[in-house]
Amino acid sequence: MVSFVNALLYGVGGIVMAGMALLVAFQEKLVYVPVLPGLTKSYSITPSRLRLIYEDVWLRSSDGVRLHAWFIKLFPDCRGPTILFFQENAGNIAHRLEMVRIMLQRLHCNVFMLSYRGYGESDGYPSQHGITRDAQAALEHLSQRTDIDTTRIVVFGRSLGGAVGAVLTKNNPDKVAALILENTFTSILDMAGVLLPFLKWFIGGSGSKGPRILNFLVRSPWSTIDVVGEIKQPILFLSGLQDEMVPPSHMQMLYAKAAARNKHCKFVEFPTGMHMDTWLAGGDQYWRSIQEFLAEHVRKKKESETSGNDNVLKFISLRSS
């Protein structure tokens, strides 16, 4: 009996040690995948390939890392909403251009696509702290532009991009008008147990039942569940129910956490949507959901303010005459 207990303890200890070794050595490679297997780090295409109007934008993050982005416009003087788009963890912004092309047409917007540090033509190496700085640099750039309506900047994040966007939106209530989250996880701590099931007993988020003794080793926890409840701007949740990477329950938990404090939250499900193709599988309903969200929480507010300003000017003109 004693030998069995000893063997069991050694077995558990071995699992813990193996988990620690995996986390220390490979966690960045699991979370951040700038280069897809069989492809190169460089962009496979540029927006010009799809006949899109764009400019190359070079930024400096607050820690000095040089970043690259594409600013894509529907047409040169488009004053519609500007979508600040944050991608998933794998590949680069070139792999999202077809979706962005349709986004421009359906939403009549501008789109700013940022390459995280270490991705595409951006310098540096990805990390949570660094990418948070990168996102802030992108927003500061947009906020200073004179060719867009800076009161209509909307953050859109998918998967990892949702975690990035949630932090940025929370930290900038005066610069971000609204947030759109698609197939985003509650935290990397929770995802560790999804991708490597044996780790769920040692790593987990705030709702985990395990001892979480290895949480301190996770350098990029991206705890969206702890951020989303502090966001005051309107939030649209887009959830693909066939998501093979992030359990759809994560999106449901994020919505519940946000909606408990924020009455401007909307949750939309797409029965056939998978992790990467919800925008495609959702068809017209997908784009219509976003259109309605923007019309309610971004466009109408701006139109109302413009109308109010016009009335004031008319009143002043009448008094002067």
What DSSP string runs through 166-205? HHHHHH-TTT--EEEEES--S-HHHHHHHHSGGGGGT---
| Cβ contacts of 93-97, under 8 Å, gap ≥ 24 | 93/43, 93/69, 93/119, 93/120, 94/43, 94/44, 94/45, 94/46, 94/120, 95/36, 95/44, 97/45, 97/47, 97/49, 97/50, 97/52
- Of the candidates 141, 175, 181, the one whose C-alpha atom is nearest the C-alpha of residue 161 is 181
- Of the candidates 313, 137, 131, 306, the one whose C-alpha atom is nearest the C-alpha of residue 222 is 131
- Decide if 52 contacts 72 (C-beta within 8 A): yes
Pairing assessment for the beta strands 110-114 and 82-86 based on DSSP bridges: parallel
Catalytic site positions: 159, 243, 275
Non-local CB neighbours of 188 within 8 Å, separated by 6+ positions: 31, 163, 218, 220, 221, 222, 223
Distance CA(284)–CA(77), nearest Å, equals 26
How much is the CA Rg of the chain, to the nearest whole Å? 22
In the chain, the N- to C-terminal Cα span, in Å, equals 101
Non-local CB neighbours of 93 within 8 Å, separated by 6+ positions: 43, 69, 70, 87, 113, 114, 115, 119, 120
